[in-house]
Amino acid sequence: MHIIIGGAYNGKLAYVEQLLNNEQVSFFHGELPTDNTHGEMAVMTNFEAISQPYLQMDEMAAAALIFEEIMQSSVQFKQLYIVATDIGRGIVPIDATQRKQRDVLGRLYQMLFKESESITRVWYGIPQKLK
Amino acid sequence: MDQAEWLFITGGVRSGKSHFAEKKVDEIADQQNRMRYYIASGVAFDSEMKKRIERHQIDRQQQQWITLEQPTNLAQLSTKISSEAVVLWDCATTWLTNELYVEVDGKMQWQNESAFQTMLESTKSTLRALHERGIPLIIVSNEVLDEQSYASEEVAFYRQQLGLFHQWLVGESTTAIEMTYTIPYYWKGSEK
């Protein structure tokens, strides 16, 4: 697993696309891969949407469930690239569900960071290796 | 002759970006015997903003600065700046905010896609042209994209355009810095 993280509109996806230029890639925007999708490389994006159905649950439980699903589906692919938008550095939202989402994704990203063999932060198109 | 410096600095509020940028301008002005130009994009819409602007003005009083008030329409700058200048533009976030609400053909610019793109292209070519004249550019902006997306179409548009503009600035710059409370991190280029 490889993680690419950074703020919104920082060029994360363009970075991954250029990285996997010559590969056969399946993209999953805001959804988890289904059982019958296979391929060489997978790119998953939009964890804000993926987390939506889990936001009524306990923070840790929600993160753990999403994490498990990602890990299960990752075995179908030779490599999994996670494109994570960092949403944890802004003003605390007034809406409770939005606050929950920040918390859940923060926990999820921590779990994914532990598991991932590489982590790259992208800042306006420039990559920085964190792990 | 070496290529002129194009320095891009972002960071959070009160992280020391402007101070760092002004010191950098002083350095270049002294070493290369250049005139300090300050492109001000802020508009004093309330008393807090007025104070903020005054504080930046006091910071610049020690040296001889030429201040150009340019809240929008940066293309107007090209004829106003000497080739012997070093230019500080502070900051891109307020400028972009101002541009959103410029009225073109009865529509605010953020709702007028073609007008907005035209404005953006002329801004970019103005900055490029200044730099090609050998004028060092120091451009300050803010980090505002590390939070959740907004339901508001207007804010979403702003975030997208700011992110894309930052990417362009980083691409053009010789040095790109993210400032964390007075500590610069060099994403591109290095300390000179």
CATH number for position A75: 3.40.50.300
The answer, yes or no, to whether residue A116 has pLDDT greater than 80, is: yes
pLDDT tens track for A36-69: 777 789 999 999 999 999 999 999 999 999 999 9
pLDDT tens track for A86-102: 998 887 888 999 999 99
Residue B26 contacts A, CB cutoff 8 Å: no
Per CB-CB distance under 8 Å, the chain B contacts of A13 are none
Query: Is A119 within 8 Å of A113 (Cβ atoms)?
Result: yes
Tell the burial category of A83 from Cβ atoms under 10 Å away from its Cβ (0-12, 13-18, 19+). buried
B80 in a known ligand binding site = no
Residues of chain B with pLDDT under 70: 1, 62-63
Residue A35 contacts B, CB cutoff 8 Å: no
The answer, yes or no, to whether residue A107 has pLDDT greater than 60, is: yes
- pTM, 2 dp: 0.87
- For an interface test with B, the pick among A5, A9, A29 (most B C-beta atoms closer than 10 Å) comes out as A9
- Fold of the B6-97+130-149+166-185 domain: Rossmann fold (3.40.50)
- For chain A, the domain total comes to 1
Nearest to B7 by CA among B179, B169, B184: B169
Q: What is the pLDDT of residue B113?
A: 92
- What are the structural domain ranges in chain B? 6-97+130-149+166-185
Give the domain range for residue A19: 2-129
Per CB-CB distance under 8 Å, the chain A contacts of B13 are none
For residue B163, give the nearest of A9, A89, A91 by CB distance.
A9
CA torsion sign, B2 to B5 to B6 to B8? positive
Whether residue B56 lies in the annotated active site: yes
* Chain B residues 78-117 with CB within 8 Å of chain A: none
Chain B nearest-CA distance from A102, in A, is 8
Residue B9 contacts A, CB cutoff 8 Å: no
Backbone angles phi, psi at B79, to 5 degrees: -90, -5
Q: What is the pLDDT of residue B44?
A: 77
Per CB-CB distance under 8 Å, the chain B contacts of A86 are 146
The whole-angstrom separation of Cα A102 and Cα A109 is 10
pLDDT tens track for B152-167: 999 999 999 999 999 9
